[in-house]
Homo-oligomer: A and B are copies of this chain.
Amino acid sequence: MTRQRARTMPSVTDDDMWLDETEQLAWRKYLQMHRLLFAHLIQHQQREFGLSAADYEIMVNLSEAPRGRMRAFELGESTLWEKSRLSHHLKRMEQRGLVCREVTGNSRSPDIALTAAGRAAITGAAPAHAANVRTWFAEAIGPERLAVLTESCDAVMEALESHDCPL
């Protein structure tokens, strides 16, 4: 599996630098699948519930939090978003009335909490979203291949962690 025939200098004409046919196909198909799947999921959710993927991600995290409230940086950790993106997006969601900032007794930065409208929005959207993920992803792939996919995801993430890049 390792690439034998390593040369002294990388060159664009050197086949070893490139993906072979199968890898190429797998990669392109993966890219296409991901793009299509997300186009469908997002479009659905946007059209039916007015929630973007970003909105949804925030609100799922909030709704699963112990008391329905989290500090902004905790949201940042679970979503892996940049803090500025998070800040900007929370401001917009606050203006739309989906979340609010509430100061807890002590004088730390405020918690982010779902408003009643916000909670209604996810609980309204979640079933349809779950159903879509199920039919288009989980059921389409099927249990055996899904298990393999999960392994593959682990393998990729391990490779990312071990191989150079601390990101």
A residues with CB within 8 A of B:
1, 10-12, 14, 17-19, 22-23, 25-27, 29-30, 32-37, 39-40, 43-44, 80, 123-124, 126-127, 130-131, 133-143, 145-160, 163, 165, 167
Contact = CB atoms under 8 A, between A and B. Distances in A.
A43 B160 CA distance: 13
A10 B40 contact: no
A152 B145 contact: yes
Q: How many copies does the complex hold?
A: 2
What is the predominant secondary structure among interface residues of chain A facing chain B?
helix
A52 B142 CA distance: 34
A144 to B, nearest CB: 8
A110 B124 CA distance: 48
B44 A165 contact: yes
